[in-house]
A = this chain, B = another copy of it.
Amino acid sequence: MWRTSGFRLPNTKCMILVDMWKRLQHSNVVQLREVFTTKSFGDYSIIFVYDYHPGSETLLSKHFSQTEPMNGYTDPFSADPNAPRPYSHQKNTLLRQQATSMLPESVIWNYIIQITSALRVIHAAGLACRTLDPSKILLAGKSRIRLGCLAIADVLTFDATAPNPLHLIPHYQQDDLTALGKLVLALACRSLIAVQRENVQTSLDLVARSYSTDLRNLIMYLLTNQQQQHKTVTDLMPMIGARFYTQLDAVQIRADVLEDELSKEMENGRLCRLLVKLGTINERPELSLDPTWSETGDRYMLKLFRDYLLHQVSEDGRPWLDMAHVVQCLNKFDAGSPEKICLMSRDEQSILVVSYAELKHCLELSFEEVLSAAIKTE
């Protein structure tokens, strides 16, 4: 995925951070590939090149887009969701929002595990995410989380006058954990206004009512601001607890499903190559100055096999199309099965009985012949 952010001149020193980000690889992080400046857009721009994950959407659009109108009920305040509202109205909105579209707790834990997994590696690498925002977190498929837009904040807010570019990282790491707390709270309430300072208490009550104590403790721990306490991702692990096992099981099952599908689809590549080989031989205009090459000898058998494969007709002369027939025959052909089939010449005057193994042998010989002709004088 490419993201451009125009109008900036970078300080070359910040490339230390960019290099650290480029080295960071994790399955829950959108990999940064390259950062460069360009004038191609007619201004001073800096371009961040990331891996592209097709079909992903942000957590913001997935869980926080207020779309469904509530069965005809129109909200008098809904024109501008950010307009100031009476307190009780905000509270009601929160309650209604949560009641209508609560996320299953397992989904929230799934996100927490993946985000903490990424944060753990980021923090261990001496970096901070700084953009832990629903609009920057990508969701691929149903459940795979990836943190995006990493390194952008580091580059754009880079202070070249600071003695050490890494000086503020520990501070930003604590900010990451607070941001995670806000994110989880917002997800649990399905509303971004839930994390506004004046609503936090209401939101926490909501969480306590609907979700497990573990989830509430986790949010409390992350949002409580104790200056002397240095928080780390590892502290969250006991609250996540045995949910790690659930998560592992889910990912392993997904890998199994993919492997199953893959083993089915692998066959396609094989059949495709077989068809190309067969096609290379059938109807070839000439080989080694012999214009009848593809019509004689072994090639004639392959031509008849091609007809058997693709040009069968039913008794009353209608074409007979059956993909299963094609695939089955090609598989037996490729395996060199000893099974025999009847090939009929086009004039219906002669019938050849031949096994798949013999046909395969014909294919190999003929293709070898084409191949050696191809490389003869090279």
**Chain A contacts to B: CB under 8 angstroms:** 26-28, 113-114, 116-117, 120-121, 144, 234, 237-238, 241-242, 244-245, 247-249, 251-256, 258-259, 261-262, 265-266, 268-269, 271-273, 275-276, 279-280, 282-285, 287, 289, 306-307, 309-311, 314, 316-321, 323, 326, 346, 370-371, 373-378
Contacts and interface: CB of A to CB of B under 8 A. Distances in A.
Contact of A321 (B27, B113, B268, B280): B280
Contact of A265 (B254, B265, B284, B375): B265
B371 A321 contact: yes
A354 to B, nearest CB: 19
Q: Which of A28, A144, A253, A276 has the most CB of B within 10 A?
A: A276
Nearest to A117: B245
Contacts of A323: 273, 276
Nearest to A265: B265
Contacts of A259: 258
Given A244-B237, A306-B279, A310-B280, A144 B252 contact: yes
5 contacts: A258-B262, A265-B266, A271-B272, A276-B310, A279-B309
A346 B249 CA distance: 60
Given A244-B244, A258-B259, A279-B275, A311 B285 contact: yes
Contacts of A27: 248-249, 252-253, 256
A283 B346 CA distance: 11
A320 B275 CA distance: 17
Contacts of A326: 276
Contact of A252 (B234, B251, B272, B307): B251
Contact of A346 (B244, B285, B311, B318): B285
Given A26-B249, A252-B144, A316 B377 contact: yes
A241 B319 CA distance: 65
Nearest to A323: B276
Contacts of A318: 373-378
Nearest to A271: B272
B275 A373 contact: no
Contacts of A289: 317
A329 to B, nearest CB: 11
Contact of A272 (B117, B275, B319, B373): B275
B265 A269 contact: yes
A120 B253 CA distance: 17
Contacts of A244: 237, 244, 248
A177 to B, nearest CB: 16
Nearest to A242: B234
A374 B261 CA distance: 31
Nearest to A378: B318
A307 B285 contact: yes
Contact of A262 (B262, B271, B272, B285): B262
A141 to B, nearest CB: 9
Q: Which of A284, A318, A320 has the most CB of B within 10 A?
A: A318
